Amino acid sequence: MDGQQPPRHAGRRARTGGSARALRFVLTGALFSAALLGAALVLDDPRFKDFLDVRLGPGQPEGGVPRAGTARESGGQPAAEARTGAPPAGVGEEPAPLGAPVPPAAGSDSYRFLAVNGDGSPVGYSPCRPLHYVINNELAPAGSEHLVSEAITTISAATGIIFVYDGTTTELPSPQRPPYQPDAYGERWAPLLIAWTTPDVAPQLKGKVIGTGGSTHYGYDDGPKTFVTGGLDLDAPQIADELLNPDGRLYATAVILHELSHVMGLDHVEDPTQLMYPEIGTPEGLSTGDLNGLYELSKAQCRKDL
């Protein structure tokens, strides 16, 4: 089994010779496996002088390719007694996808994936099980109510992935967050952790970073990989400042949507009309390329073996 994790992002800064909005947010995404993939998102606005970074996806690979001689079940996966660091296979998995994504209104190839399998198919979440999530909202800033839930509704419609809110948590973000935490969450993959936090708690947010996020994938030997959990860290003080602006809620939403798209498996693109472009001029939400990429991620296979 191999593991992988999330994307990374950065904040805003005044730009010389820029547009009306000189603000710049750099948002990045990364997956954890044999290699770390990076991406950055930029927002421009003259109101900000400091460069704020947003990172999505701290962490290290979890698990490993089973050693030769490992006990195996039929189908090639390790036998239950050999699945260290992983829950029993197929928890929550149904025979068919739980939701149906909304098809994009128009076609576009302005999207990229953070990770692909050997056959070129994108790595995504199983559409046949819900993606549970928890929120550490102790430091959630005033005015941030419903930002996360509204962004999740948008991503769910685009991917067909059914999200299930498991409530609040006191779990803190960690670059080495285990994807399987039976004492805290039972015998299943740990839920997606969304944390309103600070650079003191999440050092990856120090300096220019305003948020980080990504997902961990697993697979057997050379077989296809699938995301099983992830994390999204939001710099609460920086976003609190942003929410004081008249259009701050729109920009905060754009950041969360961008990062959630990294969590789902999208990388940055060179097309400035897409939300996954490293620079946001106006926060207009997901564009055609973003929606087509998320729609492709909806085609990931069911994984009753994970």
Burial degree of 90 (CB within 10 A; 0-12, 13-18, 19+): middle
Is there a contact between 281 and 254 (Cβ–Cβ < 8 Å)?
no
Question: Which range has the worst mean pLDDT, 47-56, 135-144, 234-243, 295-304?
Answer: 47-56
- Confidence at 115, pLDDT banded by 50, 70, 90: very high
Distance CA 232, CA 213 (A): 4
- Confidence at 84, pLDDT banded by 50, 70, 90: low
Res 210: pLDDT = 76
Q: Where exactly are the structural domains of the chain?
A: 8-65+111-281
Long-range CB contacts for residues 71-78, cutoff 8 Å, separation at least 24: 75/305, 76/220, 76/221, 76/223, 77/220, 77/305, 78/1, 78/220
Which of 286, 303, 233, 247 lies closest to 27 in space, CA to CA? 233
For residues 10-23, give the mean pLDDT. 26
Q: Please name the residue that has the structure tokens 């496996």.
A: 33
Q: What average pLDDT does the chain have?
A: 77
Show Cβ contacts of residue 128 under 8 Å, excluding neighbours closer than 6 positions.
Answer: 93, 94, 95, 96, 97, 98, 302, 303, 304
Question: Which range has the worst mean pLDDT, 51-55, 56-60, 96-100, 215-219?
Answer: 51-55
Q: Please name the residue that has the structure tokens 């198919």.
A: 121
pLDDT tens figures, 187-212: 999 999 999 999 999 998 887 677 77
pLDDT at residue 11 greater than cutoff 60 = no
pTM beyond 0.85: the answer is no
Res 1: pLDDT = 53
Q: Please name the residue that has the structure tokens 């004081």.
A: 244
